[in-house]
Amino acid sequence: MIGGDITDPEPGRDWAAFQYEIYLNGMTGVVPRLPADLTRLEELAEARLGPGPVGYVAGSAGNGSTERANRAALDRHRIVPRMLRDVRRRKLSVELLGTRLPAPLALAPIGVLSIMHPDAECAAARAAAAQGVPFILSSASSTPMERVAEAMGDGERWFQLYWGKDREVTRSFLDRARTCGFTALVVTLDTPLLAWRPRDLDQAYLPFLRGVGTANYFTDPAFRAGLAKPVHEDRDAAVLHFVQMFGDPGKTWEDLAFLREQWDGPIVLKGVLHPDDARRAEEAGMDGVVVSNHGGRQVGGSIGAADALPGVVAAVGDRLAVLFDSGVRTGDDVFKALALGARAVLLGRPYAYGLGLDGQPGVEHVIRSLLAEFELTMALSGHADAAGLTPDALG
């Protein structure tokens, strides 16, 4: 980092050094292929990939008011920088779900990544592994979990479950995930049905209906057992079966007992916005929650995720791992989420655009830029320990 010297020696990542690297490279004429301002990626991706795929990624439920609320909630909080606090030695690493991470960040589960890049989840997972950041693989990935696991070597991986109607498919997914080395299970609660998404409806663009995002299902023995004919003989019937079973609006809190029995590692519930739901998660023996509104893609008119964060932290934050996503675009957003009590954040759309624009290096650029900016924000605000940020850091 320019003007600094020592950063956290354990586990040895100097995120802010990316700033220096970019300047030095620039002086020799080597310019990064992607901008340092990650909010520019959507526009660049749309110009490159067209309105269908980028419309799917960028789109939201209803008129987009929840996505705007996510930004407004983060923007409303302001950092109050403190001076003269010796921030030479900075620690970004955090303990989360029994693992030491080099930074309070994981890549959010994003389905159907092949609409962004042919190497899809494998490229994103490799990027995450290269940067030491957990990769959360979506149930609705374009690539079977076994191939992604192989591609990412020994990188930290968590599996996101769409908790559908068929118990045997769920059981089979969990068996496969365990065999593939996924350590934590992230169960998404906010998508028992697909929301009203005008941008996709107007373009008649839903990847799943084209058989994209169904790879984990089509390769699954339990899913295949439910089909009258093999997938290759009647693909339309397989797609229809997937659409009918991927979500289950009939689930209740009591059903979590089944998952708790089936999975002995950490389980995190994604899509929790109400403190009472966070308490239910604790009662059900869960290990964490992700405060998230799915990036505004499910309920239009919903509370901004950062507005829901303090209530959930107050309810369970001293006993459960509280993670956060929905709207994170900058290092100062990461800072604010941590100051509000999140232990870590999940990064969503920006890495999908990075993937679409430049494959694995594009995702690495996004991770490194976000964390460099976060580290610099910490240092310049007088904070040396990411895990020690509290609401006092905000005005």
Length, in residues, of the chain = 395
Any contact of residue 172 with ligand LXCWX6NK (CB under 6 A)?
Answer: no
- Shorter beta-carbon distance to ligand LXCWX6NK: residue 194 or 384: 194
Does 232 participate in catalysis according to the annotation? no
- 246 contact choice in ligand LXCWX6NK, ligand FMN, none (CB below 5 to 8 Å, kind-dependent): ligand LXCWX6NK
CB distance 143 to 188 below 8 Å: no
Any contact of residue 188 with ligand FMN (CB under 6 A)?
Answer: yes
In angstroms, give the least distance from the CB of 39 to ligand LXCWX6NK: 20
- 243 contact choice in ligand LXCWX6NK, ligand FMN, none (CB below 5 to 8 Å, kind-dependent): ligand LXCWX6NK
Helix axes 349-380, 17-27, angle to 10 degrees: 110
What is the residue type of 238? A
Any contact of residue 137 with ligand FMN (CB under 6 A)?
Answer: no
Any contact of residue 7 with ligand LXCWX6NK (CB under 6 A)?
Answer: no
Among 19, 114, 172, 191, binds ligand LXCWX6NK (CB under 6 A): 191
329 is in an annotated binding site: yes
- Shorter beta-carbon distance to ligand LXCWX6NK: residue 246 or 351: 246
* C-alpha closest to that of 121 among 386, 351, 373: 351
> Which is catalytic among the residues 77, 117, 241, 294?
294
Distances (CA, A) of 178 to 171, 200, 237, 273: 11, 34, 29, 28
In angstroms, give the least distance from the CB of 186 to ligand LXCWX6NK: 12
Distances (CA, A) of 201 to 67, 139, 176, 204, 210: 18, 23, 34, 5, 14
CB distance 149 to 117 below 8 Å: no
297 is in an annotated binding site: yes
Q: Is the peptide bond before 11 cis (omega within 30 degrees of 0)?
A: yes
In angstroms, give the least distance from the CB of 341 to ligand FMN: 18
Distances (CA, A) of 125 to 110, 128, 218, 326: 11, 5, 21, 20
- Shorter beta-carbon distance to ligand FMN: residue 1 or 186: 186
In angstroms, give the least distance from the CB of 31 to ligand FMN: 26
Any contact of residue 258 with ligand LXCWX6NK (CB under 6 A)?
Answer: no
Distances (CA, A) of 48 to 55, 103, 105, 255: 12, 31, 27, 44
Any contact of residue 294 with ligand FMN (CB under 6 A)?
Answer: yes
Residues 6+ apart with CB under 8 A from 14: 1, 7, 8
- Give the residues across from 94 on adjacent strands: 101
- Residues 363, 131: Cα–Cα separation, whole Å: 10
Distances (CA, A) of 98 to 59, 94, 269, 285, 367: 35, 10, 16, 16, 22
- Shorter beta-carbon distance to ligand FMN: residue 269 or 393: 269
Among 93, 326, 377, 381, binds ligand FMN (CB under 6 A): 326
138 is in an annotated binding site: yes
- Residues 54, 113: Cα–Cα separation, whole Å: 11
- DSSP letter for each residue of 160-177: EEE--S-HHHHHHHHHHH
348 is in an annotated binding site: yes
Any contact of residue 140 with ligand LXCWX6NK (CB under 6 A)?
Answer: yes
Among 117, 297, 349, 383, binds ligand LXCWX6NK (CB under 6 A): 297
Binding-site ranges for ligand FMN (CB under 6 A): 56-57, 108-111, 138, 140, 160, 188, 270, 292, 294-295, 297, 325-328, 348-349, 352
Q: Which residues are catalytic?
A: 294
Binding-site ranges for ligand LXCWX6NK (CB under 6 A): 111, 140, 191, 194, 208, 243, 246, 294, 297
